[in-house]
Amino acid sequence: MVSELQAQTAIAARSAITFMGEPSCSSSTCHGGAGEKHNQFLTWSKLDFHSRAHATLTTARSARIADSLKIGNPVESANCTVCHSPLKSVAEKLHSTDSMRGVSCETCHGSAKNWLRSHTRPDWTHEDRVHAGMHDLKNLYVRANTCVSCHQNVNADLLQAGHPELIFELDGQAVTEPKHWREKSDWSGPQTWLVGQAVALREMSWQLSQEKSPAENAVNRWSALLWLLSATEGATGLLPANEFSSSNGLDIKNATSVQKWSDQLALKTAEAKWSAEWTRKCLNTLSGTAKMFRGKTPTRTIQARRAERLVLALDRLANGLNDEPAAKQLSPVIDRLFKDVQSLPDFDPAQFAGHLEEFQKSLPSLSESK
């Protein structure tokens, strides 16, 4: 079972000779040059994980996964290429298998057929290009949707066969990906984080709503993210309070409602003008949850999953404070929290709660916000 987004990508890839392949982008006067304005191809081909995604399917680890799934050669199997080399089927039609390997330019930017020639016209605005079919990746909602289609849901049978578990976190992952672009001046890490988490929750909700008996692990991961975002909500006031934060609300029978709610949250957050005040409020609210980790309920397994998402959140939010002395002070405290969630089977809730309280004490006070 692939998600709606993956299915769309796959259909687009199959129906379309309209993908041009990255050689269309990579001449030296276009995106294959050396200077900052032209070096997107170099950054992608030399540094970006996405250019290697196809080669990953030829490793021993991939062979083991494929063996266990009995799907034959992973390089040839849509079970794998849908994310690791999505334009593969197009490449075959064009008899140009080398040029479309991995996750290449058009996978993210959209099929270039209708805008390849015209997108460099000096009288064209960004809006004109988007109108011609280029994905509007400057819009955080569009960007999150693009990345999440490969970075969150992976089928239970793949996980059982040894595929790494995927956690989508747009801000951190966008920082990890060697950037071939510059962000707009009003770009905000915490805003990017929240849009990404809301979209991740929507995708997880969709996956759960499709399954008759979802794995306990998947349910716990979902309810942990729902818990986190419900707690964040009061800090921004972007949506009216939801009823999911009660323990009953975390029941997967609500998956479809949560799917709608989280999509709204993602949209509203992407449209909002993010304020530094929100970043501080989110940090304060989320680090104020230590009591829950000292409680007898929920179970330790669920607490561990909540802690895992929480640490990612605190890291990104603290990074977005733009306050160097504070960041310096928080950094060792965050490192300790990361250690606490490194191995979830060994998770110690009381210890984590203690570290979380120290984190909250180290926060710059809310009144200092700019």
- CA-based nearest residue to 146, from 105, 185, 176: 105
Least CB distance to ligand HEC at residue 3 (A): 8
Q: Residue 10 CB, nearest distance to ligand HEC (Å)?
A: 10
Place of tokens 């041009």: 20
Q: Which of 316, 86, 42 is nearest to 180 (CA)?
A: 42
Residue with Cβ nearer ligand HEC (167 or 239): 167
Q: Which is nearer to ligand HEC, 152 or 360 (CB)?
A: 152
Angle at 194 between CA 261 and CA 244, to 5 degrees: 35
Smallest distance from ligand HEC to CB 53, Å = 4
Selection from 151, 171, 163, 140 nearest residue 312 by Cα: 171
Rg, the chain, Cα only: 22
The CB-of-279 to ligand HEC minimum distance in angstroms stands at 20
What is the number of residues in the chain?
370
The residue among 320 and 349 lying less far from ligand HEC, judged by its C-beta, is 320
Q: Compute the CA torsion angle 221, 222, 224, 226 (nearest 10 deg).
A: 160
Q: Which residues bind ligand HEC (CB under 6 A)?
A: 22, 25, 31, 40-41, 44, 49-50, 52-53, 56-57, 59, 61-62, 65-66, 69, 74, 79-80, 82-84, 86, 103-105, 107-109, 137-138, 143, 146-147, 149-151, 154, 158, 163-164, 166, 173-174, 176-177, 180-182
Shortest approach of ligand HEC to residue 141 CB, angstroms? 12
Of the pair 215, 241, the CB lying nearest ligand HEC is at 215
Nearer to ligand HEC by C-beta: 31 or 306? 31
Q: Is the dihedral of CA 226, 2, 179, 119 positive or negative?
A: negative
Among positive and negative, which fits the CA dihedral 150, 152, 153, 154? positive
Both tokens assigned to 123: 């009288």
Taking the complex as a whole, the smallest distance from the CB of residue 362 to ligand HEC amounts, in Å, to: 27
Nearer to ligand HEC, 75 or 290 (CB): 75
